[in-house]
Amino acid sequence: MKTIEAQCRCGAIGLKITGEPVAQIYCHCDDCRAAHGAAYVASSIYPAQSVQVERGQPAPVVVKATQRMRCVACGTHLFSEIASVGLRSVNAFLLPKGEFNPQLHVQCQHAVLPVVDNLPHYKGFPASFGGAEEFVAW
Ligand SMILES: [Zn+2]
Ligand SMILES: [Zn+2]
């Protein structure tokens, strides 16, 4: 099975990720924006057991609702727990080059910055994520 490694910016925490992502997305939700201090966030989502901490001790933080794991030394956000569906959402900026191939934008209703590209721009979530097939007009 395919295995990739990712680490925080200082290297104290290392992740081992096995298998293929369930989805790779850009999230514009207010929770991600607040946690990252960014206009939107790149996420690569895997079954929780596919994302293992190999090295170091990430610390949980909750900004709004989602539990996110960070490195306390450098502040890098590593992954979020989407515990209700048994998924972990990895900060896609930490993946090796070429491993992030985004398929869609979600939670565009919260967007502060329209991102015009050829991907679908969901108002909330797609039906496969339990949402409605509604889009924003970018
Ligand atoms: Zn670090
Ligand atoms: Zn989000």
Instruction: State the Cα–Cα distance between residues 84 and 58, nearest whole angstrom.
Output: 20
Mean pLDDT, rounded, for 62-67: 92
pLDDT score for 84: 87
Distance 134 CA to ligand 2 centre (A): 17
Token pair in block for residue 86: 């048994």
Distance 31 CA to ligand 2 centre (A): 6
Residue type at 37 in one-letter notation: G
Please tell me the number of the ligand nearest to residue 8's CA: 1
Whether the predicted pLDDT of 94 surpasses 90: yes
pTM for this predicted structure: 0.94
Mean pLDDT, rounded, for 6-33: 97
**Do residues 69 and 60 make contact, with C-beta atoms less than 8 angstroms apart?**
yes
Supply the range of the domain harboring residue 106. Answer: 3-129
Q: Domain of 108: which CATH number?
A: 3.90.1590.10
Q: Is residue 135 in a domain?
A: no
Q: Is residue 115 in a domain?
A: yes
User: What does the chain come to in residues?
Assistant: 138
Q: Is residue 51 in a domain?
A: yes
pLDDT score for 96: 97
Q: Is residue 94 in a domain?
A: yes
Distance 56 CA to ligand 2 centre (A): 25
Q: Is residue 100 in a domain?
A: yes
pLDDT score for 83: 86
pLDDT score for 101: 98
Q: How many helices (H) and strands (E) does the chain have?
A: 1, 10
Please tell me the number of the ligand nearest to residue 77's CA: 1
Q: Is residue 105 in a domain?
A: yes
